[in-house]
Amino acid sequence: MNRKEFRKAEKAIDVSVGESVRIIRELQGLTQVALAGLTSIPQSTISAIENDRVKLGLERAKVLARALKCHPSVLVFPSWDVEKESAA
């Protein structure tokens, strides 16, 4: 197969910040309790973040991203479209 036979993936859904944390956590097979142990963020706070009751914030994003082995921007800007939006 060559590159011309592939079509670019299209975004199917928008996810919230909390949903992005939950999805990445679940993809890595972690429970909220396990993530709390890795981050020292209480499980109740992780639950509140995942349910969009508490804002993630930059510092918590850094801590969670380190534990989830992803870049903080993946958590903070889950719906960012590089081709449609500029950073400046």
Between CA 45 and CA 30 the distance in angstroms is 15
pTM of this structure: 0.76
Judge whether 67 and 38 are in contact, CB under 8 Å: yes
Between CA 53 and CA 49 the distance in angstroms is 6
For the chain, the residue count is 88
pLDDT in tens, the chain (88 residues): 556 676 766 666 788 999 999 999 999 999 999 999 999 999 999 999 999 999 999 999 999 999 999 999 889 887 666 566 555 5
Between CA 65 and CA 33 the distance in angstroms is 16
Judge whether 36 and 42 are in contact, CB under 8 Å: yes
Domains along the chain with CATH numbers? 17-73 (1.10.260.40)
